[in-house]
Chains A and B, each alone.
Chain A
């Protein structure tokens, strides 16, 4: 039986429902990321926000980016974050304050940023079509290895540099007798 555009009993479209659910998960996880005291829980909330974002990408008709999002962010960045959290844990982390003294000013700033963006966006008439478009992967490939080949190669160099740099920065110095080690 084919899936209808809207939910049977009501006139609500599936797309809208999906959007609202995914958006809720996204915003909720984001809020958890910035407010939870335990960092590991923050990391997990971050992962869930990445997942919700991937879903929104699919909703926007871009499955390739969604797949990349899952692979890179959830697969690599989140794991990296969790490793880093474990390497930098201190004993009394959960008991002390999670927020700076400037948290209130930061909240005000964030609220104002959100309001300004919302107001600006809704007040602008965008030259957009009313339909979501579906991007085909082959078009992306053609463009990526065609017009944007130079940025592509540059990004590969960047990734190599990042890997080497990361190893170098995080490398523990060789053991020397009598030196205090972390």
Chain B
């Protein structure tokens, strides 16, 4: 099982699905960001899995994975800074209240 690409990819897909459920279903903004991290990691996993099983993509996959980790870190930083700024304005971390663009 661990020797085939499919199982890693299915694992990655499952992790992505869980992450998307969390993003769509949770009320707290920080929870949404955590779910986003899960999704990014799922993608990263699939990239590294491809690198491990497809000879041509070996090093490329690793480089991509490294860069993705760096970018995800930067994105988490900025995202959390925004959430903190909104929290100061709306006094709540619940995304229900962030609806000033509604009709």
A interface list, Cβ under 8 A from B: 13, 15-16, 18-20, 23, 26-27, 30-31, 33-34, 39, 42-43, 46, 49-50, 53, 56-57, 59-62, 64-65, 68-69, 72-73, 76-77, 80-81, 84-85, 87-90, 93, 96-100, 102-103, 105-107, 109-111, 113-114, 117-118, 121-122, 126-133, 135, 139-140, 142-144, 148, 151-152, 155, 158-159, 161-163, 165-170, 172, 182
Residues of A within 8 A of B54 (CB): 126-129
Is A159 a contact of B8 with CB atoms below 8 Å?
Answer: no
Residues of B within 8 A of A142 (CB): 59
Is A169 a contact of B13 with CB atoms below 8 Å?
Answer: no
Residues of B within 8 A of A143 (CB): 59-60, 62-63
* Complex A-B: 22 CB contacts under 8 Å: A34-B22, A34-B26, A39-B28, A46-B38, A62-B48, A81-B34, A88-B87, A89-B93, A96-B27, A100-B96, A109-B24, A113-B17, A117-B9, A117-B10, A117-B13, A117-B14, A130-B4, A139-B59, A140-B59, A155-B67, A162-B73, A182-B87
Is B80 a contact of A166 with CB atoms below 8 Å?
Answer: yes
Closest Cβ–Cβ distance, residue A128 to chain B (whole Å)? 4
Residues of B within 8 A of A169 (CB): 78, 81-82, 84-85
Contact of A39 among B21, B31, B73 (CB under 8 A): B31
The 7 residue pairs across chains A and B that have the minimum distance between CB atoms: A117-B13, A34-B22, A106-B24, A110-B21, A162-B74, A19-B2, A114-B17
- A140 to B80 Cα, complex, angstroms: 31
- A13 to B3 Cα, complex, angstroms: 10
- A38 to B83 Cα, complex, angstroms: 18
- Measured CB to CB, the nearest residue on chain A to B27 is A100
- A60 to B2 Cα, complex, angstroms: 9
Closest Cβ–Cβ distance, residue B22 to chain A (whole Å)? 3
Residues of B within 8 A of A42 (CB): 31, 34
Residues of B within 8 A of A53 (CB): 41, 44-45
Given A84-B83, A129-B54, A139-B59: A100 in contact with B25 (beta carbons within 8 A): yes
- A100 to B22 Cα, complex, angstroms: 10
Contact of A155 among B9, B17, B24, B71 (CB under 8 A): B71
